[in-house]
Amino acid sequence: MAALAEEQTEVAVKLEPEGPPTLLPPQAGDGAGEGSGGTTNNGPNGGGGNVAASSSTGGDGGTPKPTVAVSAAAPAGAAPVPAAAPDAGAPHDRQTLLAVLQFLRQSKLREAEEALRREAGLLEEAVAGSGAPGEVDSAGAEVTSALLSRVTASAPGPAAPDPPGTGASGATVISGSASGPAAPGKVGSVAVEDQPDVSAVLSAYNQQGDPTMYEEYYSGLKHFIECSLDCHRAELSQLFYPLFVHMYLELVYNQHENEAKSFFEKFHGDQECYYQDDLRVLSSLTKKEHMKGNETMLDFRTSKFVLRISRDSYQLLKRHLQEKQNNQIWNIVQEHLYIDIFDGMPRSKQQIDAMVGSLAGEAKREANKSKVFFGLLKEPEIEVPLDDEDEEGENEEGKPKKKKPKKDSIGSKSKKQDPNAPPQNRIPLPELKDSDKLDKIMNMKETTKRVRLGPDCLPSICFYTFLNAYQGLTAVDVTDDSSLIAGGFADSTVRVWSVTPKKLRSVKQASDLSLIDKESDDVLERIMDEKTASELKILYGHSGPVYGASFSPDRNYLLSSSEDGTVRLWSLQTFTCLVGYKGHNYPVWDTQFSPYGYYFVSGGHDRVARLWATDHYQPLRIFAGHLADVNCTRFHPNSNYVATGSADRTVRLWDVLNGNCVRIFTGHKGPIHSLTFSPNGRFLATGATDGRVLLWDIGHGLMVGELKGHTDTVCSLRFSRDGEILASGSMDNTVRLWDAIKAFEDLETDDFTTATGHINLPENSQELLLGTYMTKSTPVVHLHFTRRNLVLAAGAYSPQ
Amino acid sequence: MDIRHSEFLPCLHCPPFVGPLPVSHVSFSSACPVPLPGSPSLHRGLHPSREEKRDSRMAEEKKLKLSNTVLPSESMKVVAESMGIAQIQEETCQLLTDEVSYRIKEIAQDALKFMHMGKRQKLTTSDIDYALKLKNVEPLYGFHAQEFIPFRFASGGGRELYFYEEKEVDLSDIINTPLPRVPLDVCLKAHWLSIEGCQPAIPENPPPAPKEQQKAEATEPLKSAKPGQEEDGPLKGKGQGATTADGKGKEKKAPPLLEGAPLRLKPRSIHELSVEQQLYYKEITEACVGSCEAKRAEALQSIATDPGLYQMLPRFSTFISEGVRVNVVQNNLALLIYLMRMVKALMDNPTLYLEKYVHELIPAVMTCIVSRQLCLRPDVDNHWALRDFAARLVAQICKHFSTTTNNIQSRITKTFTKSWVDEKTPWTTRYGSIAGLAELGHDVIKTLILPRLQQEGERIRSVLDGPVLSNIDRIGADHVQSLLLKHCAPVLAKLRPPPDNQDAYRAEFGSLGPLLCSQVVKARAQAALQAQQVNRTTLTITQVLSLSTSAPGSGSTTTSPVTTTVPSVQPIVKLVSTATTAPPSTAPSGPGSVQKYIVVSLPPTGEGKGGPTSHPSPVPPPASSPSPLSGSALCGGKQEAGDSPPPAPGTPKANGSQSNSGSPQPAP
């Protein structure tokens, strides 16, 4: 069927990447150039350890530049895995590093071991002194394979690279050695949850304190914090939750069940309410056996909880703990917490509350420092007729006013290069086809008729209700030109509707096609089979609920992602499935085409997001770092970045070029279910189950707004075409419109705020709310602005 | 401890489970429709602290209700026994309990993920299946309920029990029932949710002002709806998508309706109608009283269903009351009927808050019941039908709007009784009064009509058998007689023990006795027919309604209990009527017709002294339900726990009126 696709380069399955210029996987040398691969980059970003990570950072010094020249010496055959090697959570803390060293020694990979040790700057004694050799040996091996299996398990066997050369970096060593000698058996098997020996990871909990003292320790600290000065209290209160969790886990791990229970009973009420989901998981964890394979537990263990505390408060705490000789707490602080100390005024309770809430604390400040090219790419010059159109529009009465701001945006796009834009060829993009150009022209024409929105001119909302869906509608997408609507359903089907009078037709059978006169002018019309014309086409192929759907920009393809672990590419010419992309072995929650087509991103329960190209059956990049499911994935308008929202309550921004995480946004108090970029690429809006919409400045890496109003999960977000209005749709059956211009107009982007990340959110979300529109009983699953700024909303009527 | 948890999960369906199920604990609490506005606190339903409280870290204020619920080890024993393991050690049970509880919770938490990603508010069995699949456990096959699994809850003797109701199904029934219709396929429908910022008032959109808001405006005009004020959460069943089963859900739903409103509140004092509304009003009123029946049907349909009428409500109300006033004088029967149909349509509209206009509507309707003359030719025209219809309307009004403060029902009862008792009352008015009383329910019939049967029978006989005075009187007496028979027979059938003796009836009810007797026999036969279909338990009382009398509207009255008071110091008699199945003739009308209450109701103790005296026979309160309130409470609880059908237009107030009727009303 693939042969029927319009152009050869677009034919989906191709084993050799030779068609369009493709984004090559980052090569091993690239990884090395980044300074020990993911170790340094993901150390800070991925919420990894402080001690080991910082010591290994010493190796390459300074912040790594994301655009590092590809070293020619690297073996070109290295497959995409290296980018993936830094595992979810990036647990490069001391134990892991030691374990890896032990493992290398055991596997007689002498040189690699040497290299890694040099990188890490660890002394021989440290390794030797870390415990009984035999025990650590096996433990180390398990850790490595456990960590890796998360990534490699989902990356099919053939992707595993050969063990790289001796000079390779730490990260590559990990992946190389594990997938070389040890891993093959485990590759493709179940992920880390089912690994029998998590005990190694847990070993840090072995330190035995007097279990009966724990309550005393905790309440002592609580008393201290509550009695401290107001300005410090809010900051130090951040300690409660991670300490509580780790103390509880220690008690459970050391099998003091009753103590653990009473500890939990006594203190769980102190914790902030937004940790309640995690606490619920914790409360059910009552036995050591349960700790094996509990993901939440692993998250706590493998990633350090990041706290941001002012130096004064930290000193206060330190002094207190030293006075009290409170070693138990001090150990936890040392082992499991990463305290990001800053100089200056302690933050207020509000400031803290705005930023906390994620599974692993706040993002470290360094995590959001790297430069992001958030500008838009230069639009390709499109021939004269468009300009004529433009001029005409300008000459008409009344139009100029309307056009001015648009002019700006267009101007910046086409005339001069946006200073914040990435280089045009930063990632290879597909060539424009003639049909694309036609579409662009259409788009421009529509643009001139676009309604200029604002608080006084609200858009009309057309609601597409899916009737008789029986609660089965799980995903919706609308094409950019608003001509097609696709719905993914719990019964595994994908349905495509045409919402224009033009019916959906598929291409004729091959035998009939051969009869067509290929020279005729209307060949494109002739190849269509009139008999198949209908308003609705149903695509069968998945074997589980379809959680994500996305049209390609050229409307020739449709992507769908499903519970069955696959992403499928459908042709909208033949209405058949072209490729099934396997990689996520667990449910795939979301997928989206790049705004330029060809690439797409998917994210799922396996906690990673993957970047694919339609003609590669394996992912080009694996974005690993989230500590829980990746719920939603969106491309930046310039296609150079991908944003992911996760159940760990963070939003991350990834660089498509090198797979690095360049932004971590914390502040949501619930799993994130919707994302959208502003059309100018500067801002990101995210919505979560907590019913709030948060606005982020990508360039500065700051939260810039909070929109309160929804009472249930925000399922869909979309900016108007010019970015004046943000529409949000929610499970609470409402569509709300927000004044985006006002929300972004007076941003505190002075140096201080930028440097410290201390934000003062204006309490004006009620002023920003422009309208609330209630449906009868229809959760709003999808929102879309047509090219003329009409809102299309969609959802399934679900009678209560 | 290497237990495959799958082996335990099917046992979830093994009745009986003792103690609360952790699954329900986990899933329902988190599946409940979510957080309150504006606060980052996710589950405020469980955790009542407010934002302001969050500032201080006092532990007491922010107690989360999180406890590690585990299955009781008795459950393990029960499960083990069901699998043929007779003896199982306590210690083993304990270990199993811990493990199974943990696994179940883990799976429930994973299942929630699927629920959220599936964009649903309800956890389904397939979510659980997928969660099992994630854990590499074979899913459970065969439990594909579309809705939640209807665990029933019962408590008693300090124990709580959840059980899975398994009905015995007769295969022949299934075979003989016609095939259900094929479910409709998914389709797309587009409508305007908003046009340039304004939400058009079309049926696809929710009513512009929800009933709660209309009520708030009516009752507390000074207090404008402020965001976050939960004024009357669970009071009314009518709410946007409020889950009937979950009171919390309603409370949470209430704010969004009010929130955001302050921005675009319309000035309430101005009652100007837009041009469109004026046109609509003109069209509708003209159609309603015009000559084209098709148009009228359409207009009435519009009144009964359109969500955006509340601004025109005062106009409609005035139109009706003025119309009745004029047309009664002119004896224009047809117009009166049309106006009554308008009243009916208004009452049927679920989005209107009619309380404000009841004072105008009741006199109009009452006029149509008891007026001496309603038509030009009383001997020919069927004004009786109008009286019947209006009587049903009054009953409906009573049911909906009577409260302890306005006492509508008792005032109406008093009015009817007064005009009936009066010797000089003409037959037409007499008919209306009796019809009005009879429609108010069985208890009213029992206490007010039955005692007067003999007297009334005499009067009728004197007209029918006596010298012909006037044809009109004769017709009137005839109608009154059949009316009495129609209404009293079913009540008597319930009150009196079976052997129906003509003489006994004659002794008790005088001249109407023999006729009544035969009617009662008929009613009994009907009841027996019904009883075959009803699963009779000792606690359930089947009550068959009078067949032809229950109008479409009053069909729903069957579910509402009626309290009657007797003039003496007798305790209030409370009867929670339980219509198990709707009478066949009104089958489509009763929305809540399959409701079944486990309510202790009084056994018919009709023996007694129902003599020909004017004393109403006091019926002793049922021994097993000492207070009327306990009955209604139980009934309410049952209704919440069970899967009661969605609130239909008539029923939202049912709860309210139940609790009202529980409190004593002053004797008329």
| CATH for B377 | 1.25.40.770
A485 and A629 share a domain?
yes
User: How far apart are the C-alpha atoms of A20 and A25, rounded to whole Å?
Assistant: 15
Does B579 fall in a domain?
no
User: In Å, how far from its chain's centre is CA B357?
Assistant: 22
Side chain identity, residue A219: S
The pLDDT score that the predictor gives to residue A545 is 93
Please say if the pLDDT value at position A369 is more than 60. yes
Torsion of CA A743, A747, A753, A759, to 10 degrees: -20
Count up the domains in chain A and report the number: 2
Q: What are phi and psi of B189, to 5 degrees?
A: -140, 135
Please say if the pLDDT value at position A93 is more than 90. no
User: In Å, how far from its chain's centre is CA A291?
Assistant: 27
**Which of residues A312, A339, A361 is at a domain's end?**
A361
The DSSP code for B592 is: T
The domain of A548 spans 459-746+767-793
Does B292 fall in a domain?
no
Side chain identity, residue B546: S
User: How far apart are the C-alpha atoms of A704 and A687, rounded to whole Å?
Assistant: 14
The pLDDT score that the predictor gives to residue A476 is 94
Residue B572, CB-side half-sphere exposure with 13 Å CA sphere: 20
pTM (2 d.p.):
0.62
User: How far apart are the C-alpha atoms of A112 and A178, rounded to whole Å?
Assistant: 12
- Which of A732, A778, A789, A792 to probe the B interface (max B CBs under 10 A)? A732
**Chain B residues closer than 8 Å to A280 by CB:** 26, 30, 66, 109
Count up the domains in chain B and report the number: 2
**Chain B residues closer than 8 Å to A471 by CB:** 118, 120, 122, 124, 146
Task: Select from B136, B183, B194 the Cβ nearest to the Cβ of A461.
Answer: B194
**Which of residues A298, A326, A361 is at a domain's end?**
A361
Does B591 fall in a domain?
no
Query: Within the 396-435 window of chain A, which residues sit less than 8 Å (CB to CB) from chain B?
Result: none
Task: Select from A279, A472, A796 the Cβ nearest to the Cβ of B64.
Answer: A279
In sequence order, what are the residues at sequence separation of 6 or more whose Cβ sits closer than 8 angstroms to the Cβ of residue A676?
Answer: A634, A684, A685, A717, A718, A719, A726
User: In order along chain B (668 residues), what is the average pLDDT of each group of 10 residues?
Assistant: 36 37 35 33 33 35 58 82 84 87 88 91 86 86 61 74 75 84 86 87 76 66 42 36 36 42 49 78 88 89 83 87 89 88 89 84 89 79 87 88 82 87 83 89 85 83 76 82 85 79 79 82 80 46 35 36 36 38 38 37 38 38 37 36 36 37 36
Peptide bond into A161 cis (omega under 30): no
A344 and A470 share a domain?
no
Per DSSP, the three-state class of A782 is: strand
Burial tier of A423 (Cβ tally within 10 Å: 0-12, 13-18, 19+)? exposed
| CATH number of the domain enclosing A693 | 2.130.10.10
The pLDDT score that the predictor gives to residue A383 is 59
Where are the strands (E) in B294-344, listed by range? none
Q: How confident is the model at residue A750 (pLDDT cuts 50, 70, 90)?
A: low
Q: pLDDT tens-digit profile of A279-289?
A: 888 888 888 77
The pLDDT score that the predictor gives to residue B69 is 76
| CATH number of the domain enclosing B76 | 1.10.20.10
- How many residues are present in chain B? 668
**β A782-785/A791-796 pair status:** antiparallel
Does B550 fall in a domain?
no
Q: What is the DSSP string of A287-337?
A: SHHHHTT-HHHHHHHHSPEEEEEEHHHHHHHHHHHHHHT-HHHHHHHHHHE
A342 and A472 share a domain?
no
- Count of beta carbons in the 10 Å neighbourhood of residue A66: 18
Q: What are phi and psi of A575, to 5 degrees?
A: 55, 45
Query: Within the 264-323 window of chain B, which residues sit less than 8 Å (CB to CB) from chain A?
Result: 264
| CATH number of the domain enclosing A327 | 1.25.40.500
User: How far apart are the C-alpha atoms of B455 and B509, rounded to whole Å?
Assistant: 8
Please say if the pLDDT value at position A662 is more than 80. yes
Does A139 fall in a domain?
no
Dmax over CA atoms of chain A, in Å, equals 91
Answer yes or no: are the C-beta atoms of B42 and A670 closer than 8 Å.
Answer: yes
Does A655 fall in a domain?
yes
The pLDDT score that the predictor gives to residue A602 is 95
Long-range contacts of B337-342, Cβ-Cβ distance < 8 Å, separation of 24 or more: B337/B385, B337/B386, B337/B389, B338/B288, B338/B289, B338/B296, B339/B288, B339/B289, B339/B364, B339/B368, B340/B365, B340/B368, B340/B386, B340/B389, B340/B390, B340/B393, B341/B288, B341/B296, B341/B300, B342/B288, B342/B300, B342/B303, B342/B316
User: What's the ipTM?
Assistant: 0.74
Dmax over CA atoms of chain B, in Å, equals 97
**Which of residues B475, B505, B535 is at a domain's end?**
B535
The DSSP code for B445 is: I
Answer yes or no: are the C-beta atoms of B145 and B125 closer than 8 Å.
Answer: yes
Look at A178-182, A672-676, B487-491 and tell me which has the smallest mean pLDDT.
A178-182
Q: What is the DSSP string of B166-199?
A: -----HHHHHHSPPPPPPPPPEEEEEEEEBTTB-
In sequence order, what are the residues at sequence separation of 6 or more whose Cβ sits closer than 8 angstroms to the Cβ of residue B367?
Answer: B324, B325, B328
Q: What is the DSSP string of A434-451?
A: HHHHHHHHHHHHHHHT--
Nearest to A661 by CA among A320, A369, A309, A297: A369
**Which of residues B503, B535, B567 is at a domain's end?**
B535
The pLDDT score that the predictor gives to residue A671 is 93
B110 contacts chain A (CB < 8 A): no
Task: Select from A463, A473, A689 the Cβ nearest to the Cβ of B42.
Answer: A689
Does B393 fall in a domain?
yes
Task: Select from A267, A733, A735 the Cβ nearest to the Cβ of B240.
Answer: A733
User: How far apart are the C-alpha atoms of A141 and A201, rounded to whole Å?
Assistant: 11
Look at A149-158, A719-728, B33-42, B93-102 and tell me which has the smallest mean pLDDT.
B33-42
Chains A and B form CB pairs within 8 A to the count of 255
B206 contacts chain A (CB < 8 A): yes
The domain of B112 spans 72-140
**Which of residues B478, B509, B535 is at a domain's end?**
B535
Does A667 fall in a domain?
yes
Q: pLDDT tens-digit profile of A470-517?
A: 778 999 999 998 999 999 999 999 999 999 998 898 888 888 888 887
A330 and A473 share a domain?
no
User: How far apart are the C-alpha atoms of B558 and A591, rounded to whole Å?
Assistant: 54
User: How far apart are the C-alpha atoms of A462 and B223, rounded to whole Å?
Assistant: 34
User: How far apart are the C-alpha atoms of A703 and B429, rounded to whole Å?
Assistant: 75
**Which of residues A339, A361, A383 is at a domain's end?**
A361
C-beta atoms of A471 and B63 within 8 A: no
**Chain B residues closer than 8 Å to A474 by CB:** 117-119
Does B423 fall in a domain?
yes
The pLDDT score that the predictor gives to residue A47 is 36
| The two structure tokens encoding residue A464 | 């597409």
Query: Within the 574-593 window of chain A, which residues sit less than 8 Å (CB to CB) from chain B?
Result: 586-587, 589
Task: Select from A464, A773, A777 the Cβ nearest to the Cβ of B241.
Answer: A777
Does B136 fall in a domain?
yes
Tokens 């424009």, residue?
A: A432
Does B113 fall in a domain?
yes
The pLDDT score that the predictor gives to residue A382 is 66
B259 contacts chain A (CB < 8 A): yes
